[in-house]
Chain A
Amino acid sequence: MKSLFISRVVIKNFRNFKNVDVCLGHKQIIIGENNVGKTNFLRALQLVLDPTLSDEDRMLQEADFNDSIKNPMENKEEILIEIFIDNYDKNKTILAVFQDATVMTEDGKEVLKFTYRFFPYINEGGVAEYQYNIYKGNDETKKFGSYERKYLNIKVVKALRDVEGEMRNSRTSPIQKMLKNYAIDKQDLEHIAEEYRKNGEKILNLDELVDLTNNINKRFGMVLGNNDFDVSLRAMEINPAKVLSSLKLLMAQRNTTEISLGLNNILYISMILQLLQDKTIPSLIKAEKYMELSSIKGGKILKDTYEKSKNGNYFLNDDISEIQQDKLYTFMSENMPISKGVTILAIEEPEAHLHPVNQRLIYRDVIQNSSNSVLLTTHSTHITAIAPIDSIVHLHDDREGGTVIHATATMPMCDGEFLDVERYLDVKRGEIYLGKAVILVEGIAEEYLIPRFADLLGKPLDEKGIIVCNINCTNFTPYVKLLRSLDIPYAVITDGDYYYVNEEEERVYHQMDNDDSDEKSGWLGMEIIEQMINELGLNGNEKMPDDLEEKEQLFYSLGLFVGYYTFEVDMMECAAIPNNNSEKPLEVISDLFSELTTGGAQQKQNFKKELKAGEYWKCLNKIEGNGIGKGRFAQRLSGVCMKEHIPGYIQSAIDYIYKKVDG
């Protein structure tokens, strides 16, 4: 059962956020560059929900206003944070405590709303002073305070966390908190403590210790001049109350302080999640309680789901069916209700100190499967690559000093529409979310060459955080949809795939355009892009122009760049355009072919000839067919390519995306 979650956040004038309004889901990955406001986003939630914040922490300062606001306090500006909660209607504790926080969404659904407001307040003396108020629903008199935070709160696991320290400290250690959740019998503890003491005393009977004690006493007595004070040894101080806190966590028989930071991190996060888990179905029932529950109507279920332990208590079986689980949940919530609150967990950079495999592990197995709502901030492409598309919250600079937030949680999605994208996002492509802008390309050759072209044009992509994302197909639509919903600037580069229609009314591809104006011809690439424009309504209500040039103009303005033939052919054609060092660009290509091909001298000769004659399709065939392949060729070409190789549409795309990032 999924717990409640924060379904919407509105922030006004707080730190990075001038005015954001974002919808969220149950599990959220918050991504964005450093300093863009990920921590401040969590801070906004903490101002309302975190019980560990003091009143002083909640009282903001002038510096907490968004930078774009001049003299905020003089101008009586306000900071506003609104948090909406959804999916709580099965939780009786939450309903009981927070029903007076209910508001209606625009589409007629009940949700809970909590507001933090920092505002100038005219006091009884007529003086304006800044105050904050946290309240439920729309009524400023319904305070949201420490009582409320007992039942709904957030726990933030900081990026710079001292996991070792926290686990060692018995006050903060999750293991101690978990122990406290059990009501362990005091007598048992006393008994154990007594046993400890008895066994410990055996050590004192060792002759070596007897000797030691004697010697100390002798020396002490001599110095003191008498034997009035008897010095003795005690083995262990055992206080029943401290028996539990003396427990140490071992991993593979080693103390956790000796375990790698990475593993400790996983252990720590696992324990926090376990601590916060819904415990309506207890994993252990004491004998007495078990008897009591079994005798209640419907208590038979216990027999099938619990097993007696050696000590006579009962453990929950691991392999209970979902039906049993549901039944058990209903039974327990009726007969042994726990009125615990709900904690939303926020983890900053769970990937810290983790091997990529473990990064994926902690996300997939630990976080994704938790019934609690989890928010996490990350820079890890290992995590973004496997996160469901609809769980992304993307923060980026609005180029005016503020930060904007977009989330995919409410992006309209057809079933399976993003399956392709999800399946396709691997570690490399996980970067798609992390870039300031993205160039979508259809193949590996573009992936290799475009960054190099950008360098040659004096517009290095890395410097601006522009990412080239190769989607290995021409189905750009879902990617464009995704990027648009996150408001990440993008450019699409795709082949034109020129064709003409022969007498049999069939399309013939991979031919050079012979400028025969009688022939019916077209560009598959243009058609695909046009279809996407229509599907996503990129052109608004405007009609698609019929004129080819106008059409291309429109595509460019939308960041969609279509070639003529195919990337390599366009490149060769471009290289053939006469210019200053006229032969060089073509030579580079033919030299590279000669170097890479497994073919003989004749073939190398033929390639050169065909290249000169403009028979680029034949050239490309040879590249693909002689143990080279487009990828390898492009990879090598990227080392030697020149400005002259850059086809016009690619240069336009680079110019376009650069302008987008620079604003």
Chain B
Amino acid sequence: MSYYTEKLEQISADPLQKAAYDTDDSTVVIAGPGSGKTTILTLKIMKLLNNEIKEPQGLACLTFSREAAREFEERLIKLGYGKRRNVFLGTVHSFCISEIIANFAELYDYGISLPIKVLPKKLETQIYEKVLKDLGIKKFSKTNVDKERSLQIKGMSGVKVNSDPTAHRIAVEFERRVLEAGYIDYEGIILISTKILQEHEYVRQCISAKFPWLVIDEYQDLGKPLHEMVMALFTQTDIKIFAVGDPDQSIYGFSGAIPDYLMELYNRKDTISIELQNNYRSNQDIVDGSEVVLNIPRHYHAMTREDEKAEYRFISCKNGLEEQYNFFVEKIIPACIEADIPLEEIAVLLSKNSECNELGIKCAEEDIPYYIAKHDFERTDFVKWLEECSAWINDKSTSSFDEIFEYWQKLVLLHRDEKYVSESDVLLMKQDLLGVLQDSMEMKGNLKVWLKYIFLELKIKDLFKNSEMLPDEWENLQKLWSEVSEEKYKDYDTSKFSKIGKPDNQITISTRHSSKGLEFEVVVMMGMEEKHFPGWWVDKDPKALEESNRICFVCVSRAKRVCILMYSSYYNEMDYRYGEICCKRYYPSRYLLQLRKKFM
């Protein structure tokens, strides 16, 4: 049985999944944790491409992260997808660049200089700080300003949003200065693309002709600009939408993403609404527990792990996170090893990156292999390409040199003034790249040496150092370089390149926010004190409380079977009134209490 039919049979067994797969009109699917959304999305894409959409038309599949896009692509290839023109698979951001800015920005005047120059991070900080200074504002989070900018987008959505006047002032001035400097920043690319799409019938017609279907994953995380783009296309062209999301997993409120946009689309009369009910990840206790902390009954059913009981444990410590760390390395880990739970099935969820790093140090001291999800370097397209190259020199059947070259050629041309290259020169370029890659095979036994060789031979530094399109790439590569230079990677050969920055018989340490999309046998949640989680600020802000509940929902639902919650009764904290460190009393989080009440 092929992978495709196997998966198809799998979803056919679930009437709701099947219904989502079968619709031939615009559909919004609410997919709770473990409901099999990736399978449905990828099968739906296959169905559309094979049966519904004729060439040269294609479809666009938008994801929240590059990683998700990559996962989709791998899954699609497994399902038998062959590369096809006019099929877009990537983030909203890259969609805006390659499908809107590249094709249409030149036609309409939005004051941006073309070809676009992406604002380098350093310059962004400079401009931002200068704006604050000139406006006489001491400190203001850039995230809030970006959120304000995304909310300023006008459009059709009836969802009410509040504006922050200070953020607004900063936003206007910041945008003006970035444009004036001849740049465009990350947020700006999305905002201008949205405007182009909203304001020009022609652009909408083009997009809907090329992509008669728009498939969108994690709709709840994508925020207002994407929602307005979707609304503009959906109501003014005959484009069809297949959107998947989960309002309960909307936890990026700080970026302006709220569940209301997904619900607005879901509740439209002209979309088919489907709510998946089954969970294929966790046992029923975990499912029920996650709904308890969410505070909204969803009545999801656990389909696997029948008759299995969840293990909820509540650990109380005396003072600070330090004790929780200690308990974890001294008690929990040995117990897991005892119970034959592999390390990669264990995750610790914390509130901040700094805490993750503290726990990391602790684990290192105790020789516990760990992996911190938040990484220094980004898996950009170029890093992905390097991985592709390393895969190719190890096994020529896994990747295609033509595709490797295609990206390389595009990259080189992007950084040249003369865009035309004759066929014979293209051939020379190809020979050069082939030569470098083949010669590099001698070094394939050592990733670091290999990377150094590639960087040197392909003059990567020259390429990126003054790049206007990819201004931050060289810095990113330096981060990659220092990562690879770390002690633990010294024995890595090139075949393990793609494993850099991925868990490999390691426990996972992650912030609560970054845990989305992951799953583990055992989930350990630390810092479960009231006022810490949920934070002290939710008392006055019911919306914030709701989001906090959703974060906890996400955390609990990462677990398949075991959920361990830890809290401490005291924390040594800086008291700003007295300017000294005081010992402060804390009480167990309401989430902990709710779960304890239900399961003890």
Contact = CB atoms under 8 A, between A and B. Distances in A.
B209 interface: yes
A381 B303 CA distance: 82
Given A102-B104, A102-B107, A96 B420 contact: no
Contact of B107 (A104, A140, A141, A339): A104
Contacts of A139: 419
Interface stretch (A121-129, A207-215, A506-514, A515-523): A121-129
B413 interface: yes
B205 to A, nearest CB: 6
A266 to B, nearest CB: 34
Interface string A86-111: 00010011011101101110000010
A151 interface: yes
Interface stretch (B51-59, B139-147, B186-194): B51-59
A326 to B, nearest CB: 16
B102 interface: yes
Interface in B190-236: 202, 205-207, 209-210, 212
A508 to B, nearest CB: 64
Interface string B100-111: 001110111000
B192 to A, nearest CB: 17
A123 B422 contact: yes
B56 A89 contact: no
Nearest to A110: B202
A95 B54 contact: no
Interface string B103-127: 1101110000000000000000000
Contacts of A129: 422
B209 A96 contact: yes
A577 to B, nearest CB: 69
Interface string A125-146: 0000101010001111100000
A648 interface: no
B106 A138 contact: yes
A334 B209 CA distance: 12
Interface residues of A, number: 28
A72 interface: no
A412 to B, nearest CB: 26
Contacts of A123: 422, 424-425
Contacts of A96: 56-58, 86, 206, 209-210
Interface string B148-185: 00000000000000000000000000000000000000
A337 interface: yes
A103 B420 contact: no
Interface in B69-119: 85-86, 102-104, 106-108
Given A110-B202, A140-B420, A100 B428 contact: no
Contact of A97 (B56, B102, B410): B56
Which of B54, B206, B212 gathers most chain A CB within 10 Å?
A: B206
Nearest to B416: A141
A121 B425 CA distance: 11
B428 A99 contact: no
A160 B424 CA distance: 37
Nearest to B207: A99
A483 B83 CA distance: 55
Given A96-B86, A337-B54, A339-B56, A89 B422 contact: no
Interface string A143-186: 00001000100000000000000000000000000000000000
Interface in B16-68: 54-58
Contacts of B206: 95-96, 99, 102
Interface of A: 89, 92-93, 95-97, 99-100, 102-104, 110, 121, 123-124, 129, 131, 133, 137-141, 147, 151, 334, 337, 339
11 contacts: A92-B212, A96-B86, A96-B206, A99-B207, A99-B209, A99-B210, A102-B103, A102-B104, A124-B425, A129-B422, A141-B419
Given A93-B57, A96-B209, A334-B238, 8 more contacts: A96-B56, A96-B58, A102-B103, A102-B107, A102-B202, A104-B107, A129-B422, A131-B422
